[in-house]
Amino acid sequence: MNALAHQIPPQPANGLPAAAELDRALRNASPSEVIATALKIVGRERLALVSSFGTESAALLKVLADVDPKIPVIFLDTGWLFEETLAYRDTLTAALGLSDVRSIKPLEETLSRQDPDHELWFSDPDACCRIRKVEPLARALKPFSAWINGRKRFQGGLRAEIPVVEEDGVRLKFNPFANVSREDIEAIYANANLPPHPLVASGYLSVGCMPCTSRTSPDEDARAGRWRGRAKTECGIHTMKTS
């Protein structure tokens, strides 16, 4: 446990510390310090990391594994993921020694009722994300008091000013990579010899579901290939509060 984590008081008996208080304390902390502090405050049984096992996910998962590889990792298997992403999940799980990766799927009853023709991604992508990502994540997070994600400010858009710690309904939400740069992530990959996502070599700089992901050119933002041609920039798990 790092020195910074010891400066943060344990979780009070009447609830979690205020997100604003934690954000001030962790504003300049390293990603490992943020995760270690979350672990100290919440405890392993009440803390989870949510990962897409996408093109930059290995860096955060490596930091997590160095702190505690037994922290639960939630992976949303939407039913529309690339086979390469599913294989990458298995590769990283083994390489990093992650011992509690939970693959969460949308409910078949919901899919049959709301997306029987598997065309909702085209007609209403927000609704598709809701039933395949937002609702499954809300279900998966019910046992937890806090969760960790990999958003970065350099990704721009709605992510440009994210805090290190924020409130997410009844939970705390930790953004340990809020302050990192693209160069920091590349350094983590290089120093740990982490394998890249298999689709990076094919021009996919940000990978989500197959129907809503396209290749990007070198002069485009990394997330330009997500929901290309639409105003949509987020799937909804970071814009809707969990309950």
Active site residues: 235
- Residue among 165, 167, 168, 189 nearest 177 (CA): 165
Is residue 163 within 8 Å of residue 191, measured between CB atoms? no
73-76 and 165-168 as β-strands: parallel, antiparallel, unpaired? unpaired
Distances (CA, A) of 139 to 132, 171, 195, 243: 11, 13, 31, 9
Check if the beta carbon of residue 237 is closer than 8 Å to that of residue 224. no
What span, in angstroms and rounded, lies between the C-alpha atoms of 96 and 116?
38
Alpha-carbon distance of 29 to 51, in angstroms, equals: 21
Q: Distance (Å, rounded) from C-alpha 151 to C-alpha 121? A: 23
Q: What angle do CA 17, 18, 19 make, to 5 degrees?
A: 115
Cα 148 to Cα 37: distance, rounded to the nearest angstrom: 11
DSSP code at position 226:
B
Give 18's strand partners.
none
